[in-house]
């Protein structure tokens, strides 16, 4: 716990058997109350490794995509009464040693969302981010800042902490199930006036770390620009988009309870 708040770490996983143990071993269990791994129909031994480590594990029988995986992660964390939810990729690309720092930014009420930025202090290139990915990151972030009136160092980190209120209030069920979910949730948070902060986060690129291939990267980039343009339109009353609708669909937390009860051996 931090400041009397329950901290839950969620790990959206896909073929992470080679890195999950190194990631989990560095999670500070004296502060983190619970760890949940949601496996998105991996083809390797991710589920076996997760269970062997004693991690609460939920298994998707079919691949739902990165965004669909996150939705399950957040439903399950809310069902376990999380006050702060931190998303940590199990591929060991982001250091678990900053979990407490990220969670603290939310647990002590300074921000509603905290981001671990690979760009601040030059962490991305130092950690081996391919140059083309770095250039794409900078172009997309600059475009988003321009269209959305923000000043973030990057929108594309996968290391994030959320308050319970954010996850309960934002219309997350309106978001896509693919990679653009990451940008849609930030755009929604900014649109609805939540406070978003950043800290510098080192990152590591290596063979076993997950990475989006070229085709999905292009689709992701186009989806990012579309989301930023929809935000721009919505703010000026030029259009209405369901991801920014105040009456949009929220996460159905009861579904998480059903999953946790019916998975049987899939949960610790």
pLDDT in tens, 127-183: 778 888 889 999 999 999 999 999 999 999 999 999 999 999 999 999 999 999 999
Instruction: Tell me the CA distances in angstroms from 171 to 47, 58, 86, 244, one per residue in order.
Output: 30, 23, 19, 7
Q: List pLDDT tens digits, range 103-117.
A: 999 999 999 999 999
pLDDT of residue 213: 67
pLDDT of residue 252: 87
- Domain spans of the chain? 7-261
> At the topology level of CATH, where does 7-261 sit?
Spore Coat Polysaccharide Biosynthesis Protein SpsA; Chain A (3.90.550)
Give the E-state strand segments of the chain in sequence order. 7-13, 34-39, 56-59, 84-87, 113-117, 160-163, 196-200
**CA geometry: angle 242, 243, 247, nearest 5 deg:** 65
- Residue given tokens 């594309």 in the structure block: 156
What's the token pair of residue 235? Answer: 């703010």
pTM for the whole thing?
A: 0.92
């Amino acid at each position: 716990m931090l400041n009397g708040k329950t901290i839950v770490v969620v790990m959206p996983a896909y073929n992470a058997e080679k890195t999950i143990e190194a990631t989990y071993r560095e999670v500070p269990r004296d502060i983190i109350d619970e760890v949940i791994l949601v496996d998105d129909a991996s083809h390797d031994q991710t589920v076996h490794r997760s269970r062997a480590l004693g991690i609460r594990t939920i298994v998707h029988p079919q691949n739902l995509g990165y965004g669909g995986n996150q939705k399950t992660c957040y439903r399950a964390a809310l069902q376990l009464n999380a006050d702060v939810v931190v998303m940590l990729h199990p591929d060991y690309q982001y250091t678990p040693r900053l979990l407490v720092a990220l969670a603290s930014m939310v647990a002590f009420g300074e921000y509603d969302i905290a981001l671990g930025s690979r760009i601040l202090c030059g962490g991305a290139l130092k950690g081996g981010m391919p140059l083309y990915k770095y250039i794409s990151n900078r172009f997309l972030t600059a475009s988003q800042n321009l269209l959305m009136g923000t000043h973030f160092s990057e929108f594309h980190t996968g290391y994030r902490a959320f308050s319970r209120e954010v996850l309960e209030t934002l219309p997350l069920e309106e978001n896509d199930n693919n990679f653009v979910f990451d940008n849609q949730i930030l755009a929604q948070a900014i649109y609805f006036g939540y406070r978003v902060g950043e800290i510098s986060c080192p990152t590591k690129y290596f063979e076993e770390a997950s990475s989006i291939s070229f085709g999905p990267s292009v689709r992701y980039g186009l989806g990012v620009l579309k989301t930023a343009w929809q935000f721009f339109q919505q703010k000026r009353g030029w259009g209405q988009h369901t991801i920014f609708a105040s009456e949009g669909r929220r996460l159905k937390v009861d579904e998480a309870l059903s999953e946790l009860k019916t998975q049987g051996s899939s949960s610790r």
